[in-house]
Structure 1
Amino acid sequence: MANTKTIAENRKAFHDYFILEEFEAGIELKGTEVKSIRAGKVNLKDSYADIVNGECILRAMHISPYEQGNIFNVNPLRDRKLLLHKNEIVKLDIASSQDGATLVPLRLYFKEGKVKVALAIGKGKKNYDKRDSLLEKTHMREIEREFRNRQKY
């Protein structure tokens, strides 16, 4: 990803969902929100996206009010419109209407000076899937540690 700077990541999404497909979307923001994002005061933790009236809306993303923003600050949890092509919105609408699928933001980043959102179609994991993922991650970490130790000698 050339010329990008990651601002925030939703690591919980990888724990709670199987990521099926990823899309890049622009986001409609106010001026003070962009300044807060540049300062890193954003949280994607419990956010999700919906398709409403042919538009993709990002909900529950928290952008803290800008300290010097005074009257221009907006509600930190307001709904924000995502900027996508019509065919992408139709594809996301069909995918999210399937059982257990949802639209989850993965990352918020700057690309050539503009704020972008990596939006994914996620299928919910069961508890045993989460345990399997953690176990697999632990095994991989042990293998890498052993491999590094053997390379030293």
Structure 2
Amino acid sequence: MSKESGSRLIANNKKAYHDYFIEDSYEAGIALVGTEVKSLRMGKCSIKESFLRIEHGEVLIYGMHISPYEKGNIFNKDPLRVRKLLLHEYEIRKIAAKIAEQGYTLVPLKVYFKGSLVKVEIGIAKGKKLYDKRQDIAKKDQRREAERDFKVKNLF
């Protein structure tokens, strides 16, 4: 069984980067069925409204939408079903200890193919206040303005 080289992004959670400070990130596998993998290969996935929980020593992802595969007929599963993430037990204990602290949560950051495997990057995050979000928007605007000025100067 040969694996493809490199990784290919399927879905990105830009909202997580806007709403949270990402302090640490982990790569996790995800338990899927065949038709879900085929749908992911076509790029039909959304993690905007998804969230993670640790229950009974397992990390579960809720609200991850994988569109049904068109040719899957009876083998298609519920698009919003709860899916198990595959992590080592020591990683789960480490994450659980961190999110037990006040103000920390677990968020999905992106879904991608690593070779032929589907991976989910999850992050331990701390919520931003409104003024933090405004500062980030101001920094982005400044950077965008500087890049625009640089581009104009190089054209002449």
TM-score range, shorter chain: over 0.9
Structure 2 residues without counterparts, runs of 5 or longer: none
Residues 73-93 of structure 1 show CA distances to partners (whole Å, capped at 9, x for unaligned) of: 111111111111111101111
Match of 1:137 among 115, 128, 140: 140
TM-aligned CA deviation for residue 151 of structure 1: 2.7
Residue in 1 that maps onto 2:131? 128
Aligned pair partner of 1:104 in 104, 107, 111 = 107
Letter in 1 for 2:141: T
Match of 1:90 among 66, 88, 93: 93
- Any idea what SS the aligned residue of 1:149 has? helix
**Distance apart, 1:149 and its partner CA:** 2.1
Q: How does 1:4-153 map to 2 (within 5 A)?
A: 4-153=7-156
**Cα distance, 1:131 vs. partner?**
1.1
Structure 2 letter corresponding to 1:9: N
With the length of structure 1 as denominator, give the TM-score of the two structures: 0.95
The normalised TM-score by structure 2 is 0.93
- Counterpart of 1:20, as a letter, is E
d(CA) in 1 for partners of 2:72, 2:103 = 40
Output one character per residue of 1:7-55: Cα deviation in whole Å (capped at 9) or x when no partner: 1101111111111011100000011111111111110001111111111
Secondary structure of 2:94's counterpart equals: helix
Identity of aligned residues (%): 53
RMSD: 1.1
User: SS at 1:81's partner residue?
Assistant: strand
**CA apart distance, 1:148:** 2.2
Aligned residues: 152
Could you tell me how far 1:152 is from its partner in structure 2?
Answer: 3.0
State the one-letter code of the partner of 1:84.
Answer: L
Which structure 1 residue ranges, 4+ long, deviate > 6 Å from structure 2?
none
In 2, the alpha carbon distance for the partners of 1:127 and 1:13 equals 14
Deviation of 1:98 (Å): 1.7
